[in-house]
Structure 1
């Protein structure tokens, strides 16, 4: 959908199109480094070229109206009321949560928000684990702050989006999704240390290969999955480690060498396996990044496979559908790397596939996956794009 078409939908929805501006925030794929973000570790995400568009225009009556071209639910609220999460508002709780954080930030600076109409359109597969929620958060934060005349740095909007999801929606997510969506750069991934926010852009040079995202089409709701349970298990493991390594602030600070010294102190086998995944996955991100920098794509692909195996065996967040995709993708000769991406429990797999083998990959993986799961997968041959921005 282009900007003109979106403005036409805005006109149909709200009855006018004067003063409409169009904003975009991408989805993201994490190439490696899963469930390390909320543990203060390294991640390696990239922004995609599909995402969420928002057509928005200012109002002067303190009212905000949210509508979507994808979902029937609409929501309305006022700056003067206390904004609360309401189940019946469904997807609109994400922009409401962002507005709530923007208002609080403005009050701290003696500024104010005066209302807007905003229409969303997204082409990220919903519930697929490609950060549709972070995409909505960042496009809302950028649109509403710009309409109000406030020039908030993107890194602040990234943190604000995470706060909205943590506090308002109630999902204890780390910073990775919002960071990748807000700070993405075309043809680059970002190696990010999630607790310090230190990051570097790394060129993704995969000439002759394509990134292929495969959607299991098994829906998984992040908030009611075992995501928060895994987080508390990691916190329990960290508390034990700190007794022996008091200088450690997060699992992301624990080297493989130190882990081998202290892991015997974690008597609970489940907790020990969760922590082992995080620490070895952190190491894999560093090695995989180095491989990509050295153009050692086969080595990078091996790290992707090891990541999936660890998420399956130690962290236990894959499940039958994702494991079936992994197994079928790995059988294809032209696929040098493959793994689940996102929180797990459904969602997507990401693979690095030789360009000439993409059609074979799609055909064979679809056939064998469908036979085993009775679900039909969707495939997205992806390009790496820029982060959130105003487009029109």
Structure 2
């Protein structure tokens, strides 16, 4: 992406607000006392998404952009959408006040902004991947696919309005962290240094059961109808310095109610591209925003389906080789132009279908270069290398 095509921060936030928050805003409310709690909760949840999209994913795409500090972000969104002032409390005070009590001084929306701000800081968009070592598992997430592994079952408007999501469930982290005490003897002084650090202890069986439970609650499917295809640990978007346990599971049942069947191929294609693009004289969100809650899992999903496609292609190739070994030459003769062999038409069709399949699925290069390529980078908004002149990350102040 050329520098001239980089969407400025304010324009990006405006586009995110337009898609995620504007449908909830009401112009006829001037104070937050007039709004029901449910409305405050909805707006706070949507604004949480806006912060993540701008302060992590948009910056991850465009490293030259600056991380927005908490106060500055609050000021920008109120300037862009004055009706959001009804959802603010602390920042509307005329006199500068020190933030002492978060629970008492901040509104729900301001708390959501601060929480997502801290999440973005811990993820650090300047890094290709966040360092999640030692982070407790705060939730389980499941990608449910059909028996043929061709379609996924997703939910829309489940956690964030206007956004697709997996099956997710929060888990208790209190029993995952224990203190480990170690003693270090100093070679220069006759004393011992006592150090205490945290260690994450995971109960894999319990986390898997939580995954099955999440499916059962969301889709009314029993664990006996599930088959585990893969398990992974990735960063969480909903809690600071926390991870998610991600499962890919195959379901033998047909799930309809509350879910939409999305072809996995279409899902992978949705991870490509920018978050915002220019439309006439303004900037608009792309379809990637609808899938932003799946971005922590996008690379894993893409690699998994690539392996599946490669495995299937190898099986097709082996089948073709078997047919070659059984092939009988139906007619052959020598002419002035050389040897002519009339091959079985079925075999020809087999090869044509095989290579057409590779080309249509984009797997041809994977088959040719398997084992030579580095691990592909997906959430397919291309992450560029960090620039030496990257601006300083902001803080709450």
Length-normalised TM-score, structure 1: 0.29
Higher RCO (CA < 8 A, seq sep 6+): 1
Q: From the CA coordinates, give the structure whose radius of gyration is larger.
A: 2
